Amino acid sequence: MPGKKPTSPAKVAEAVDPISGQISQRVKQMRQQRVWSLEQLATASGVSRSMLSQIERNQANPTLAVTCKIAQAFGMSLAEFVEIPAASTSIHVIRSDDREHLFRSDEHVEIRTLSPLNLEKDVEFYQVRLKAGGVLRSAPHFQGTREFLTVEQGRVRIQSANDSAELNKGDSTTYRADVSHAIENLGKSEATVFLVVIYQ
């Protein structure tokens, strides 16, 4: 945050412990979900870019203070951020009223995360609701990223760089997401799509 003093670097350890390994995965996962650069996360958290890079590469044991700052940047409590899924069951349920999975909600777009938040993954699953005239514009993701989309309700236009296509209910598409891309509601009522993001 502007005006905050730089955070002292956490000690780089010769052997990073398992908890730090979990935090490393968590930081990278949450940053990718929000499509943030390391610089953006550094600005939001007050933790230096070099320290964040070391944490993501599992080359540093972050202090409790550093971990708290990163969790706060993502709008999460420390407990939510470091939570490790229990091994008692292989079934992970996401309830329809689980507010933790509401990634974004404003006058134009609502995005719900349908894949577990606490797992490192190369695939993400979302439900996207676009109000009439609503547009979800996205900056390029990592090189090789693709999105797969199915229209549940309404009529939408997909834009990927200079290419575009219109889809109706039941239609599906795949397109490059490592370029600027957008999903636009062309109808006069709400449109709902299911979106899968696959990182290479």
Kindly compute the dihedral angle of the four CA atoms of residues 188, 189, 190, 191, in this order, to the nearest 10 degrees.
-60
CATH number for region 18-82: 1.10.260.40
Check residue 120 and give its pLDDT.
Answer: 52
Structure confidence by residue, pLDDT tens digits, 68-115: 899 889 888 877 787 655 445 567 777 888 777 888 888 889 999 888
Length of the chain: 200
Check residue 2 and give its pLDDT.
Answer: 40
CATH superfamily of the domain spanning 99-198: Jelly Rolls (2.60.120.10)
For the chain, percent of residues with pLDDT exceeding 70: 84
67 has a pLDDT exceeding 60 = yes
Structure confidence by residue, pLDDT tens digits, 141-182: 888 999 999 999 999 999 999 999 999 999 999 999 999 999
Domain residue ranges of the chain, discontinuous segments joined by +: 18-82, 99-198
15 has a pLDDT exceeding 50 = no
Token pair 């052997």 in the structure block, residue: 15
Q: What is the pTM of this model?
A: 0.56
